[in-house]
A = this chain, B = another copy of it.
Amino acid sequence: MSKGTVVLAYSGGLDTSCILVWLKEQGYSVIAYLANIGQDEDFEAARKKAESLGATKVFIEDLRAEFVEDFIWPAIQANAVYEDRYLLGTAVARPCIGRRQVEIARREGAQFVSHGATGKGNDQIRFELTCYALYPEVKIIAPWRIPEFYNRFRGRKDLMEYAQQHGIPVPVTPKAPWSMDANLMHIRWVRLASFIMFSFSISLFNHAPADLYLMTKNPEDAPSAPDVLEIEFKIGVPVKVTNVKEGISKDSPLDIFTYLNEIGGKHGVGRIDIVENRFIGMKSRGIYETPGGTILLNVHLDIEAFTMDKEVRRVKQGLGIKFSELVYNGFWYSPECDFVRHCIAMSQVNVEGKVQLSVFKGQVYILGRESPKSLYNEELVSMDVQGDYDPCDASGFIRINAVRLREYHRLQGFPSIKQ
C-alpha cells in the first residue's frame, strides 16, 4: 500500500532520478514535475525518462513567462542585489518553481513534496518555505537530509551504481568538476571537487576556468564593436527594447528578457566571482553569469534616478535591500515580502521613460535618457536662468545646516589636523 503521493521536483539528472526511484522503494507514489524556467534541457526526453522510472504522472510546465513577469520584474523594480553583488537569479526562481509544484500537489491530492536540494544550501530553504507558505499542511521529503538516504549515497559512485541497478540512464561524466544551476536569469556555478563528490568548496584563491561560462562570451572574445540599445520602461519594468543600429525590437516580457540575455551574453556582460553569506550562516563561493539581468539593473537604476524623488528613492533603497535579503533567504511568500513588494511597486508608478545604452566587452554604458515623468528641470538646474531659484537662499540653507555643527565643535573642540 502506498504511503501517499509525492510531487517531486524533477530535473531529469542523476540525482533526482535516483530520488524518484528511491521514493518508490520507500513506498510512495511519485509524480514527477519539471519546470521549464529557461534552462537548456530536452524536456521530452526528461518526460520519457521519468515515465520509464515509474512516475505515475509527469508534468512539464513552461513557467518562463510567469517567471519573468511575476518574479524577475519585481526584482528589477527593487534593484534587487544581495550583499551588493549577487542579482538573485536562483533565489527568484525557487518560489516560481515551488508555487507550481504546490498547485500540482493540491490539485492531485498529494500530501508530500520532495526535492533534490542539498542540506547545506539556500535552495532547500527557499523551496520549502514556499511550500509551507502556500500549502501549510504539506509534508516535505528532503532526501539529502535523511540519514538513510545520505548515508547510502555518499558520492557520485554510489548514485551511479544505484542508477545502473535500477535502469536509470547514466549521464556522461562531466568534464569539469563544476555543477551548475541554470535558468532564464542566470547560471550559477559551484565547484565539485573531482575526488570529493558534491563538494561545494574550492580554494577561494584559485581562479575559475576561463571556459566555464555558458551564457556569456569571454569579454576578451566579445565583438570589438558595441551594440546600442534603447529600453523603454513603464511602472519600473521594461516594455520594449530596440537595437538601435539593427532595428530589432521586442516587446513582450519574455522576448525582452531573452533578447537582453542574447545581447548581454554576446558581449560578456554579468560575470561575477564572489563570496556570499548563506542564510544558514556559512560563507560560500559562487560564480554567476547574469547577462540580461545585469543590463536591466543598470538601466533601471538610471531611469529610476531620473524620475523618482530623491527622498522617496532613499526610503525605497532601504526597502530594496530588505527585499533582497528576504528573497535570498527564501521568504518570497511571506507577509513581510508581500508588504515590501507592494511598497516598492507603489514607488514605481512614475518610473517611465527611455534609456539609451551601449553594451561592450562586459560593460553596460548609459548614454542618455528621457522621460515624460522626469523630475529633472533643465531651467531650474541651469546656472544662468534664475527662475524660481534664488542663489541667496543657499546661504541661509547652509547656515542653518551649520547651526548644529558650529555648536558642537565649539563645545567639543576640533579634530586635529591628522584625524
Contacts and interface: CB of A to CB of B under 8 A. Distances in A.
B204 A370 contact: yes
A247 interface: no
Contacts of A281: 310, 400-405, 407
A199 B381 CA distance: 8
A152 interface: no
Q: Report how many copies the assembly holds.
A: 4
Contact of A402 (B133, B285, B306): B133
A275 interface: yes
Interface in A316-363: 316-319, 321-322, 325, 330-331, 333-336, 338-340, 342-343, 346-347, 350, 354, 356, 360-363
Contact of A339 (B84, B136, B315, B414): B315
Contacts of A45: none
A201 to B, nearest CB: 4
A354 to B, nearest CB: 8
A171 interface: no
A409 B129 CA distance: 12
A354 B271 CA distance: 21
Contacts of A390: 396, 399
A343 B343 CA distance: 6
For chain A, the bracket of interface size reads 35 or more
A360 to B, nearest CB: 6
Given A366-B272, A396-B397, A120 B381 contact: yes
Contacts of A103: 417
A418 interface: yes
Of the listed residues A193, A200, A310, the one surrounded by the most CB atoms of chain B closer than 10 A to its CB is: A310
Contacts of A400: 280-281, 393-394, 396-397
Contacts of A70: 418-419
B382 A196 contact: yes
A227 interface: no
Contacts of A154: 384
Interface in A368-389: 368-370, 373-378, 380-385, 388-389
Interface stretch (A47-55, A143-151, A258-266): A143-151
A415 interface: yes
Given A207-B356, A333-B415, A389-B403, 7 more contacts: A124-B398, A133-B408, A205-B370, A282-B403, A317-B321, A363-B363, A397-B397
- Those 7 A-B pairs whose CB atoms lie nearest each other, nearest first: A396-B396, A119-B391, A277-B310, A281-B404, A311-B336, A393-B396, A361-B361
